[in-house]
Chain A
Amino acid sequence: MKQSAERNEVIARLRGEILSSGGTVFSSHSHEHPDLGPLNRAFPGHCFPFRGTHEFISHNSETAAATLGFMAGLLSRIMKGPEMAVWVGAHRTLFPPGLKAFCIVPDRIIFIDLVSEKEMLWVVEECLKCTALAAVVGEVPDIHPIALRRLQLAIEKSGVPCLLHRHRPRSVENTVCTTRWMITPMASLMEEGLPGVGYPQWQVALLKVRNGKPGSWQITWDGQQFQQGGQESMEEQNIYIKAG
């Protein structure tokens, strides 16, 4: 028994080494990694490789809002410490008080509103070089693969994660991003028989993940963390409420 535990440890360590030599910035401290609940299984080593570029694709206002919600949830997992985050965008619709529902204190985000795409990428790159930031969010519809590569290089040095919201992109080409997501809204979760709008629920499609297993899940945000969506968790909650 003890031997097998040791063996597992060695295997996990070796796997980590292989992954890190493959270009993914991979930390050996698993507690450092943000906990994405049911999504963890899709990632190499069951750890979300957050130190990288993450693309989020959206095509209309509803999916954009769902994407913003999911990104906010993700950001709240990353912003565990006291660091600030930077949000760079051209036509920002994000309403800061709305972040409160995703456990983010809105005044910890510095918003930079620009018009020129070139300047936006420059700002994102400069921010990624600053290790004192928790994360950088960029709302750029289209990004040239070379520009993305530059961002990736900056991240490899500083380790600051970069979330890119690509609203209405001209094309979704195969870029060097670490993960690519597409979020679509689904009917919210509410206890059976109760009126009103409940916890937001999304169809989360992980289109690309380096060294991981892409997939699609129903995910809900229960005000604190990501949960498995659908009916199952509903029942659990019922039991919990009844017991309480």
Chain B
Amino acid sequence: MKRYMAVWFRHLAADRLALRYPGLRRQPFVLVAPERGRIIIRSVSREAGRLGILPGTVLADARAVYPDLLFYDEDPSQDKLLESLAIWCYRFTPITGVDGADGLVLDISGCTHLWGGEEAYFENIVTRLQAGGYHVRAAIADTMAAAWAVARYGTTHPVIAPGGQAAVIRDLPPEALRLEQPVIERLRKLGLTLTGLFMDMPPAVLRRRFGLQVLERLGKLLGNIPEVLVPVQPPEPYVERLPCFDPIRTAPGIELAIRKLLEMICQRLQEEEKGLRKARLVCYRTDGGQQQIEIGTNSPVRNLEHLFRLFELKIDTIEPDLGIELFVMEAPVVEGLTTQQERLWDLDTCGKKDAVTKLLDRLESRIGAAAIHRYLPEEHHWPERSIRQTNDVHEAPAVAWPEHLVRPVSLLGAPVRIEVSAPIPDYPPMLFIHKGKIHKVVKADGPERIEREWWMEKGLQRDYYQVEDEEGGRYWLFRSGHYGEYKPEWFIHGYFA
């Protein structure tokens, strides 16, 4: 059965300002914004609320009564604050959402026993938020709508027992249904000032008089119509959590936590015949900071020892500071890995791929994946495009490596210009000057003409020659373009063995 908790920040904007400027604490002040040429009060602090100032009043009116009322401009980035509060609540439940402009909703099903029951859980959240400087009201109920209503309008105990929402909302005003203003006004005009007065009317009557919305809201409140919680952070399907009673500050402690989390996650992967490709360890510190380390593997893995060794390389990058109170292990990317496959790998005599993949995983986690590559052939003659870089260890070439092509063993990053003296039109050079040294060409092969692919780029073709100088050095030279309208240029592009 689902349980939800709704948290209502009664003076969110004002609390936030008071947190930033502690001098404002326990002071009546208001936040204002211009609207249709007038300055309107948008939100008030608790003390200002006690004076009877309501949001929506014109500032000039309020100052007529309280001439020394403090006022500040409203900060539009408020929803981000709510989102970060929702993420902060992540330590209590994995599913948290923002509800309206001033509320949070938490799916607390199955979480409360970790804190010793719903009462203690409720107390914990509310006191911690209040200690943080926020004025909150909260409630726990079977449905989101009921928790919302009780948090804002409830007068009884805020933790509603399972199935008890119908009895509680009888005593709430119609506003607790979150209806539109005209509908509420009509209800009040008819004297229906409590929900209990119209709740039991036949649905057909309610629909005819007040519209479909009333029925819908009532259904959501009572749990007849399901309501969906939109989480701030979509929960990872493979996630394990490890809350700690005492903050952890040492490397052996972190190691122990990683081992325990991996054990849980590997167990689950084993059951579902899956292996992980990426894992992330997020550490929530007591001071609200977050630390995370991430590992990636080249193929699906669920071997605990291997994964642990990958994490072990990165443990020293975690800064525990005052201590870590919650470890969360996520596996954002998983792939199928059957037991048979796993066994095959162990016996794999020809490939030995498993050992190589593990080695690369280990290297990758220290030096980064960008440093590791293999090359596969591409169907291009242009030397720079004839190979393709890949990071995949298992990828097989799509085309065969070209046979009988004369290619140097060492290629310069970019061709370098050389001075030559060569007979025209298409003979190899007799001598060339590279880096101030004159090389007299003794032997030569070529030309091998390589055209640029016109569908990719425009430019001159290259005529490649393999030449050898007196000292036995072998070079790959090319002439860019023909002799004709202008003088072609010569380049050196590589060295042969």
Residues of A within 8 A of B (CB): 61-62, 64-66, 68-70, 72, 82-84, 93-102, 105-107, 109-114, 119, 122-123, 126-127, 130-133, 184-188, 190, 195-198, 200-202, 221
Main secondary structure of the interface of A (DSSP, over half): mixed
Decide: A62 and B495 in contact? CB cutoff 8 A: yes
* Interface 9-residue window, one of B58-66, B99-107, B355-363, B454-462: B355-363
Residues of B within 8 A of A123 (CB): 363, 367
- The answer to whether B471 and A62 have CB atoms under 8 Å apart is yes
Q: Contact between B407 and A186 (Cβ–Cβ < 8 Å)? A: no
A-B pairs under 8 A by CB, number: 168
Report the bound CA distance from A39 to B474 in whole Å.
23
**Is B351 a contact partner of A82 (Cβ separation < 8 A)?**
yes
State whether B372 touches A185 (Cβ < 8 A): no
* B477, chain A: closest CB distance, angstroms: 12
* Chain B residues whose C-beta falls within 8 Å of the C-beta of A112 in the assembled complex: 363, 367, 371-372
Report which of A94, A99, A105, A110 forms a contact with B393, defined as CB distance below 8 A.
A110
Determine if B356 and A130 form an interchain contact, defined as CB atoms under 8 angstroms apart. Answer: yes
Partner of B474, one of A70, A93, A114, A197: A197
Q: How far is the CB of B45 from the nearest CB of chain A, in Å?
A: 56
Interface residue? B397 (CB, 8 A):
yes
Q: Which of B354, B367, B473 contacts A185 (CB 8 A)?
A: B473
Chain B 419-465 residues near chain A, CB threshold 8 A: 442-445
Known: A62-B472, A119-B366. 15 other contacts (CB 8 A): A65-B497, A69-B496, A82-B350, A84-B356, A93-B411, A95-B383, A95-B410, A99-B409, A102-B409, A102-B497, A107-B376, A111-B373, A112-B371, A114-B367, A133-B356
User: Which B residues are CB-close (under 8 A) to A106?
Assistant: 375, 377, 387, 401
B352: chain A residues at CB < 8 Å are 82-83, 131-132
A98 touches B410 (CB 8 A): yes
Say yes or no: A196-B497 contact (C-beta < 8 A), given A93-B412, A97-B386, A107-B397. Answer: no
User: Chain B residues in contact with chain A, CB under 8 A?
Assistant: 350-356, 359-360, 362-363, 366-367, 371-377, 383, 386-387, 393, 396-397, 401-403, 405-413, 442-445, 466-468, 471-474, 494-497
- Among A66, A98, A132, A195, contact of B407 (Cβ-Cβ < 8 Å): A98
Pair B471/A185 contact, Cβ less than 8 Å: yes
A202 / chain B contacts, CB cutoff of 8 Å: 497
Q: How far is the CB of A159 from chain B (nearest CB, A)?
A: 14
Given contacts A62-B495, A123-B363, contact A100 B444 (CB under 8 A): no
- Contact (A95, B407) CB under 8 Å given A64-B495, A82-B350, A197-B466: yes
Least Cβ–Cβ distance between B388 and chain A, in angstroms:
10
Residues of A within 8 A of B445 (CB): 196-197
**Within 8 Å CB of B351, what residues of A?**
82
Given the complex of chains A and B, what is the CA–CA distance between A98 and B409 in angstroms?
4
Chain A residues within 8 Å of B471, by CB? 62, 185
User: Which of B353, B366, B373, B468 makes the CB contact (< 8 A) with A122?
Assistant: B366
Contact: B472 with A69, CB < 8 Å?
no
Contact among A100, A110, A188 with B360 in the assembled complex (CB-CB below 8 Å) = A110
In the bound complex, do residue A95 and residue B371 qualify as a contact, i.e. CB atoms below 8 Å apart?
no
Contact across chains for A113 and B443 when beta carbons are under 8 A apart: no
Q: Are A94 and B472 in contact (CB under 8 A)?
A: no
- Residue contact A188 to B443, C-beta cutoff 8 Å: yes
Q: List 25 A-B contacts (CB under 8 A).
A: A62-B474, A65-B409, A65-B410, A65-B474, A65-B496, A72-B497, A83-B352, A95-B410, A95-B494, A98-B494, A100-B401, A100-B407, A107-B397, A110-B374, A111-B372, A112-B363, A112-B367, A112-B371, A126-B359, A187-B442, A188-B468, A195-B443, A196-B443, A197-B474, A202-B497
For the complex, give the distance between the alpha carbons of A99 and B387 in Å.
13
Q: Residues of B contacting A68 with CB < 8 Å? A: 409-410, 497
Q: Which A residues are CB-close (under 8 A) to B444?
A: 195-197
Nearest residue (CB) in A for B360 is: A110
- What are the nearest 6 A-B pairs in CB distance? A69-B497, A65-B495, A132-B352, A95-B411, A132-B355, A62-B473
Q: Give the CA-CA distance A208 to B355 in the complex, in Å.
A: 33
CA distance A99 to B360 in the complex (A): 23
Give the docked Cα–Cα distance between A119 and B410 (Å): 24
A110 neighbours in B (Cβ, 8 Å)? 356, 360, 372-374, 393
Chain A residues, CB < 8 A from B443: 187-188, 190, 195-198
Q: Is the pair B474, A64 in contact by a Cβ cutoff of 8 Å?
A: no
- When C-beta atoms are compared, the residue in chain A nearest to B411 turns out to be A95
B241 nearest CB across to chain A (Å)? 33
